[in-house]
Amino acid sequence: MNLRCHSMITVPDGVYEFLAAVPDGQYQLPRWVACDLQEDHREGHVGFLQSMGEAEETAWWLAWSGTAGEPTLIQLPYCCEDCSTADACLLPDGHPGRHSSQLITALDLTPGMRLPVYEPSPSR
């Protein structure tokens, strides 16, 4: 299995406000992002933030390191311009690891964990 990286980060207020002011954003801005790269990648983490214009040729990404420092806002084209939409890679050009369509996001469910079940409490 090709799992996705587990790193997550809060979007800095300055980045959020900057992107909120840029016209033509295609998506609702997130307050936090998860790394979109394959797990155990070597370079810094990269998470998708916003894509501009209907053609969506380039996108804004948040880049951060696992150790220290402020996350950085970067603008990069997507990995493959000519990919068919069905398996188009949603990672920035030049990314390490597998393409996004080959990656799996794993849910961190603890073994034995159960979803809460609604049980009406007795009214008497």
Provide the binding-site residues for Zn ion, judged by CB under 5 A.
5, 7, 35, 37, 45, 79, 89, 91, 99
Residue with Cβ nearer Zn ion (29 or 79): 79
Residue with Cβ nearer Zn ion (2 or 22): 2
Give the burial string for 46-83 (b: 16+ CB within 10 Å, else e).
Answer: bbbbbbbeeeeeebbbbbbeeeeeebebeebebbeeee
At residue 77, the 3 state secondary structure works out as strand
Residue with Cβ nearer Zn ion (5 or 59): 5
The nearest distance, CB 5 to Zn ion, in angstroms, is 3
The nearest distance, CB 90 to Zn ion, in angstroms, is 8
Rounded Cα gap, residues 58 and 75, in angstroms: 7
The nearest distance, CB 120 to Zn ion, in angstroms, is 43
Rounded Cα gap, residues 29 and 12, in angstroms: 12
At residue 21, the 3 state secondary structure works out as helix
Give the pairing type, strands 32-34 and 8-10: antiparallel
Residue with Cβ nearer Zn ion (52 or 91): 91
The nearest distance, CB 17 to Zn ion, in angstroms, is 25
